[in-house]
Amino acid sequence: MSTPSRSLGRGLGSLLGRSVGPLQSSAKPAYPTMPSGGLLLIPIDKIKQNPYQPREVFDVEKLQELAASIRVHGIIEPLVVSKTAEGGDGYELISGERRLRAAGLAGLTEVPVILKDVSRRDKLEIAIIENVQREDLNPIERAKSYDRLMTEFRYTQEDVAKRVGKSRESVANTLRLLKLPMKIQEYIQSGKLTEGHAKILLGIAEPAKQVEYAEIILRDRLTVRQLSDSVSTGRSSVSKIGQQKPRNPNVSVLENNIRSALGTKVAIVGTESSGKIIIDYYSAEDLRGIVDKIAGK
């Protein structure tokens, strides 16, 4: 299978073929039914979930809030569906699962939709792009979404970055989260650990040690800064992470400046007068990019 050659950088508008305007689901008249791109009202029980939905976690409290809003204002933005492969009167959701779930909680029996005829690839892209643009995905869901685009469609990191409107460095860093032990991934997915904590844990070579640090982060409520200081100075004992002396702030500023300039994890071990700089890279592509930045290319 060859790498897709069509143009990159499409947003939801180009994938759906039109912009989506405001729409009240409580309006009395039915919307005109059209083969593709038209608006219509269809029963909720006729809509199947999107098999490519990247979201795995739905916040129940936020769904209840959305349901309350729908009861008052209706559905402002229609869902996007396609006909099921089996035909008949069934539909498959492309975009809008939160709205669909909330509509059910709000007691609606029908929802406004846009009917589109799209490919399997576009269904996955639309679902991912919608969630990424709205920042509805947690870091692990986002990483799995990027990985799926690369696995199923043989996209490069650069391709994915252009598809979702992120930098290649951002995509690469997010994908690295999938290298963490499953226990840590679950902590990230549940919101117990932040993406900032996770990126620092990736700098620890041993999975068992990563988990050990993660447990201490939760137990002692360590900040990202405290964890970063511990890993950067190479402390062998994790039992006193929260008690260590603060670093020289000038060294931390320099470290952050280098990290921002190179777009990767950087650690300065030592003092302002002597020490070493550790620069992490995770692929040949990363290494070339870092070298080019240092060389000013």
- Rounded to the nearest 10 degrees, how much is the dihedral formed by the CA atoms of 126, 133, 223, 255? 110
Cα angle 171, 175, 180 (rounded to 5 degrees) comes to 150
Helix/strand/coil for 176: helix
Is 97 known to be catalytic? yes
Q: Are 178 and 148 in contact (CB under 8 A)?
A: no
Give yes or no for a contact between 147 and 177, defined as CB atoms under 8 angstroms apart: no
Longest dimension (CA), the chain: 75
Residue ranges in the chain assigned as alpha helix (H): 12-16, 60-73, 97-105, 120-133, 139-153, 157-164, 168-175, 182-189, 195-201, 207-220, 224-232, 249-262, 284-295
Q: Which of 56, 65, 92, 97 is flagged as catalytic? A: 97
Tokens read off for 110: 């029908």
Query: Which of left, alpha, beta for 37 (phi over 0: left; psi -120 to 50: alpha)?
Result: left
Torsions phi, psi for 85 (to 5 deg) = -65, -25
Catalytic center residues: 97
